[in-house]
Chain A
Amino acid sequence: MQKYLTSITPDSLSGLIFALEGIYDGVVLLNGPSGCKFYHSSLSDGQMIRSLDFDPLNYPEKWYFGQPHVPCTSIDNGDYVYGSEEKLRETLRFLRENVKFNVLFVVNSPGAALIGDDLRGIARSEIKDRPVIVYESPGFSENMPKGYVRAFEAAAEYVSRDESISGQGNSADCGGSDASKKVNIIGAGLWRRNFQGDVEELHRLCKMMDIEVNCMLMAGCFWQDICSLSDADLNIVIAPEFGEEIAKKLKTLTGTGYYICDSQPIGFKATEQWAREICEILDLPEPYKIIEESQRLRARCYPLISRLNSLTGMPTGRHFAVEGRYSEALGYSKFLLKYFGMTPDSISILDADMENCKEELENFLRLYGVEDSLKKPILDTDAEIVLASGNTIGGLKLKGADFGGIDISLPSLGYIDVIPKTHLGLSGAVLLVELVLNGLKF
């Protein structure tokens, strides 16, 4: 089997673009060739449809190439030699006069980053009435989370500087709560397999704790929400690889503390713990609504698992495999091992140099004597349940492996989710129970 699959993963360019595309009223202009734009535009639209219009004629070929997102300057060989200023100015003028936006992000493609055009000077001379944030380098083969962090770092100056806007936040789907506590949630984004469902579940859980989401950072927020990040009482980090650095930066900028749970809130116990700890930090009462719902859902799951177990002995002791970053791997492993009693066969780490949660994962596996699972590549697994991207699941199927696949990261296998789904929180826990039960072989 090919060993390369794990090296074919998105890098910081995608992290950067997807983070910025998560801002509703921003436009992400790629100073680069159309080849760098198609995938990002298509995925952005698929994850967060913002406009009904899908008619290519309404998205000029010259910049949009018929797609609704990520216009590009379409630079070519000549522009690499002579510089992209001419095309960049032309595109900026088009955007200024034809497209509604409150903030413009200009991102150099990897190739354009090498020719050293004065992006900032050019962009700011054309767009004077709105913030323009430029990214001279998207990074070269850096990990995806670094792109996300980079996206925020350039925007961070607006958080501390533009204090006049503070208090005018308008977070999506948050409306009208009387809650006294506000939080920002950091680390969700368009690159997640269940972006919409994740966001909805996090909002729902917060509401159950009587907390208002001030800003779902770069995951369906408005520019003003970012400017008013300092309004929050706490920054909650969902995926530390993406959020920890930003939370630390915000601590410095705004003085707001942050919370990172042991792993991602995957499974009943992890969600309960997540909610309890947040309430404790915010000096709120026990999250009894969450505890109660968790119990009800576990009760719902019990007879189904029990029946299966009585008949087949499953799922206890059955093998699973996970492919993901440390915090994801830890979240899924804890849930599958502790709740189902399943055994990890392979845990493959992506972006392994992002070591958030590394120690926690190793300690956890060591505690159960299954630390060797970290040494086994996922493409060698014979586990019954495989949690990975659609590419890895496809590769294993091609190899003839016999397993139930759960796509936990993009690219997915292609299922179109009409009902937003998530693996986070209580809704996520129930879905995972459903997927595991259906993925096991009777």
Chain B
Amino acid sequence: MSKIAVYGKGGIGKSTISANLSAAMACAGHRVLQIGCDPKHDSTKLLLSGRKLTTVLDYMRRTGPLEQKVEDILGEGYMGIGCVEAGGPKPGVGCAGRGIISTFELLQRFGLLQRYDTVVYDVLGDVVCGGFAVPIRREYADHIFVVTSGEFMSLYAANNILKGIQNYDGDEKRVAGIIYNKRNVKGEDERVKKFAEAVKLPIAVKVPRSDAFAKAEALGITVYQMGEDERLQEIFSRLASELDKGIKLYSANPITDEELEACLLDTSVSEGFSAKNAGENERENAGENRTENMQGGSYTENEAFYPTENRDLHSKDPDLGNNTSSKVPGKSCERERDNAVDAGEACGSPLEKPVYYFSKSLKNSEPLHGCAFNGALSTCAHLKGTVILAHAPKSCTYISYQTISSSGRRRLFERGTLLPVSLSPSIQCTEMGESEIVFGGMETLEEKIEEIKKSRPKAIVVVSSCPAGIIGDDINQTEMLSDNETKVIPLRTDGNMAGDYLQGMLMAYITLAKAFIDKSVKPDMSVVNVLAEKIIDTNSESNLKTISGYIGRIGLRVNCRFLYNTDVDALVNFKKAGLNLLAFGDYTGKMLGDYFEKEYGAEIFRKPFPVGFDNTAKWLRALGQRVGKSEEAEEIIKSEQEAYNSRIAKLRPVLNGKKVLVITYNHELDWILKTAIDAGMEIVKIGILSFSQDEGFRSELDLNCPVELEYEKEKRTEDVERYKPDVLLTNYASSIADKVRISDIIPMCPEVGFESGVKTVERWAQLMKLNRKGDWTGDAEIFNKYYAR
């Protein structure tokens, strides 16, 4: 596949040249895709007979990720050339560079590039921020042309582009040469020649000024397609042919601005094109076919110049190495988009690991709760033996650090418990400052990685923030810094640009799974993994202890917690577990289950950690059945059933006939509803508030009460007055709490096991007997008097 980036100053003719090159490549039998990377989005119009495409960025803005389809942004032009326009904001607002990054992420998710054997990127070169440098990145372009005229600003932009390339490549060779698009400005041949000499590049093509371009444009087609000017057709055919044969590539050797000025000093750069001399120059060019010598080589005007010694297009020069194009004619990677497929693994560069698993917020285009950066940091911190390196300003890292460590500090303070991951997460920060923001942060990042490597962690996971994403720092490059002792694992969240907190968690799960899990490990049915424990849930440890107690009695033990306080070795041996238990059956839990089932062939026990008596009994029964330990499971259930019945019997005299109103964010309530019903209580109504990271209310109970989804808060007072509940079950004691006898809180992550429901209901019974809420509840008025502002 040839991946050709055409860079140049705005208005220099890049789009015209790109379109003609695409046309020539297509006519030579290639499957060509042209991607316009310019906010004015007119790169492909000559290939589409003037038809306008929906730009990728407009499309992404109004279409949720699961609804996105490649055909909505892909146009088919002349000779079947695939056409895509990135688009971008109107001038003066937003960040067009960031738009290019987003565009490429989407194209990669679609696996679009793999469908073609030739990709032409038409890229604006005036702006030199990281976003516009995306096509320069190695995995995108293997040939780079720089388009310039002889005007100073055009040459200045060309030199800047070379600087950008050099930043990425160092001495590597990817520049295929200069495309000289003549403007017929006086002295421009000399200036371009001098510039080419100074930057040690050949003039690959010289495109003469011609009315044919304007005529073709008026027809909405390329000069190549129009076919009226054979000379022009020949130029592009020859360039296509050179590319086909394996064009010689060069390293970028930009010169300083001072050198550029000095280089052009003795030519009248300020002289502009005038109508008068235009005609003369046009005639000159038309009649000319002279040969010039440059850099020891020769070229005929209107055709490519290459140093003579490099004309062997099938060069044996070992330096050419991978830089020589390796076209696979007619072959494309036909991979259809699939929401649960990682195309990067199959078709793309190993550097890119796009995520195809979307959080609920992202999927439904809801406001993003938190950022992927924080979610990834918090998740990765649970893999012990690694260092998480935040490529971010201090604030981003500090905020995430507090998210992780607050529970650790509380546990230390409350009970003297030391939770290593929470108390002291292994996180470092590149402390991006103004300098990194303006000049790019890759150098600082690489230095920091080298510094951390001295402590020989098993891995360094690099997570990127919004500023890193906006300026276009390509953290994927850091993977190259891996060595035998330390893996460097990039995780490009770009703050919240990849999505919300849960999306960051999903990205971290997938990235770490790919990086460590050994697929060759054989499963053992006596061990299980635990998936999707909530890292912010303070019950996680005690819940696992409860579950471990049950499964221990049926002969199972835990192998790997994915991911919660996990050793790298346990993660490597993930596949040792014969069965994988889900801690939660919510959206994230299900998605993680799907992932391991699909990608690792793991067997997922789909019933989540059970809450309440009935759920726990069902869960144990199913698990016992699956592992051939039904008798042991029944024994546990039997003994617990007796205890439960006895406790419920004691509650009935107090709770029988009492009414419960439920207004909650929780979507799984059977554990408490069933216990309340067992105790003789009446559920009068369930209102589900429309604020949740979960997928929707679900119940296996035969409920004889109204269940109102999308419940609106305004109804609370009305319902309390209407139903007169004895117990109001909610998540936050709200202003109506004092209007009911008992107001109780449903925890977002309840305790697991047989006892959770009965413990709660016992508390209600106790409160009924006491008939006291506490004097403090009447002091709101005093607070408002003295403290409210």
Is B57 close to A, CB under 8 A? yes
For A66, the chain B residues whose CB sits under 8 A away are: 691
- Residue with the greatest number of chain A CB neighbours at <10 A, chosen from B373, B423, B789: B789
Chain A minimum-CB-distance residue to B428: A4
Return the CB mask of A61-75 against B: 1 if under 8 Å, else 0: 110011000000010
Is B497 close to A, CB under 8 A? yes
Is B290 close to A, CB under 8 A? no
For B554, the chain A residues whose CB sits under 8 A away are: none
Q: Is B788's CB under 8 angstroms from A78's CB?
A: no
Return the CB mask of A3-43 against B: 1 if under 8 Å, else 0: 01101111111100000000011000000011110111000
Is A109 close to B, CB under 8 A? yes
For A413, the chain B residues whose CB sits under 8 A away are: 409-410, 412-413
In the assembled complex, the Cα of A79 lies from the Cα of B99 at a distance in Å of 10
Shortest B420–chain A CB gap in Å is 6
Is B601 close to A, CB under 8 A? no
Chain B minimum-CB-distance residue to A400: B418
Shortest A219–chain B CB gap in Å is 13
In the assembled complex, the Cα of A138 lies from the Cα of B98 at a distance in Å of 20
Q: Is B57's CB under 8 angstroms from A391's CB?
A: no
Question: Which of A50-58, A336-344, A369-377 contacts the other chain?
Answer: A50-58
Given A35-B370, A111-B495, decide whether A414 and B691 contact each other with a Cβ distance below 8 A.
no
In the assembled complex, the Cα of A57 lies from the Cα of B692 at a distance in Å of 12
Q: Which of B94, B418, B432 interacts with A115 by CB under 8 Å? A: B94
Is A120 close to B, CB under 8 A? no
Return the CB mask of B714-752 against A: 1 if under 8 Å, else 0: 000000000000000001101100000000000000000
Q: Which of A140, A390, A414 interacts with B437 by CB under 8 Å? A: A140
Is A311 close to B, CB under 8 A? no
In the assembled complex, the Cα of A391 lies from the Cα of B691 at a distance in Å of 32
Q: Is B789's CB under 8 angstroms from A50's CB?
A: yes
Shortest B775–chain A CB gap in Å is 15
Docked complex: B360-390 residues within 8 A CB-CB of A? 367-371, 373-374
For A74, the chain B residues whose CB sits under 8 A away are: 367-368
Q: Which of A24, A34, A36, A55 interacts with B735 by CB under 8 Å? A: A55
For B99, the chain A residues whose CB sits under 8 A away are: 81-82
Return the CB mask of B54-68 against A: 1 if under 8 Å, else 0: 000100110000000
For B466, the chain A residues whose CB sits under 8 A away are: 33, 80, 109-111
Docked complex: B571-628 residues within 8 A CB-CB of A? none
Is B427 close to A, CB under 8 A? yes
Is A293 close to B, CB under 8 A? no
For B326, the chain A residues whose CB sits under 8 A away are: none
Q: Which of A115, A117, A415 interacts with B470 by CB under 8 Å? A: A115
Q: Is A140's CB under 8 angstroms from B434's CB?
A: yes
Is B553 close to A, CB under 8 A? no
Return the CB mask of A100-132 against B: 1 if under 8 Å, else 0: 000000000111001111000000000000000
Q: Is B409's CB under 8 angstroms from A398's CB?
A: no
Chain A minimum-CB-distance residue to B497: A77
Is B1 close to A, CB under 8 A? no
Q: Which of A55, A83, A110, A411 interacts with B732 by CB under 8 Å? A: A55
- Residue pairs across A and B with CB atoms within 8 Å: the count is 215
Given A7-B431, A114-B471, decide whether A141 and B393 contact each other with a Cβ distance below 8 A.
yes
Docked complex: B395-409 residues within 8 A CB-CB of A? 395-399, 401-403, 405-406, 408-409
Chain B minimum-CB-distance residue to A395: B424
In the assembled complex, the Cα of A72 lies from the Cα of B750 at a distance in Å of 30
Q: Is A24's CB under 8 angstroms from B429's CB?
A: no
Is B545 close to A, CB under 8 A? no
Is B426 close to A, CB under 8 A? yes
In the assembled complex, the Cα of A80 lies from the Cα of B103 at a distance in Å of 13
Chain A minimum-CB-distance residue to B690: A61
Is B519 close to A, CB under 8 A? no
Chain A minimum-CB-distance residue to B390: A8
For A83, the chain B residues whose CB sits under 8 A away are: 89, 93-94
Q: Is B433's CB under 8 angstroms from A397's CB?
A: no
For A114, the chain B residues whose CB sits under 8 A away are: 95, 437, 467, 470-471
Q: Is A398's CB under 8 angstroms from B370's CB?
A: no
For A13, the chain B residues whose CB sits under 8 A away are: 393, 395
For B497, the chain A residues whose CB sits under 8 A away are: 76-77, 80
Is B780 close to A, CB under 8 A? yes
For A33, the chain B residues whose CB sits under 8 A away are: 368, 371, 466, 495-496
Is B224 close to A, CB under 8 A? no
Q: Which of A12, A25, A80, A394 interacts with B408 by CB under 8 Å? A: A394
Docked complex: B34-88 residues within 8 A CB-CB of A? 57, 60-61, 88
Given A35-B374, A82-B57, decide whether A50 and B495 contact each other with a Cβ distance below 8 A.
no
Q: Is A78's CB under 8 angstroms from B371's CB?
A: no
Q: Is A140's CB under 8 angstroms from B60's CB?
A: no
Shortest A8–chain B CB gap in Å is 5
5 cross-chain pairs, A with B, having the tightest CB-CB distances, nearest first = A111-B466, A35-B371, A83-B93, A83-B94, A11-B394
- State the A residues within 8 Å of B (CB): 2, 4-5, 7-14, 24-25, 33-36, 38-40, 49-58, 61-62, 65-66, 74, 76-83, 85, 109-111, 114-117, 138, 140-142, 390-391, 394-395, 397-398, 411-415
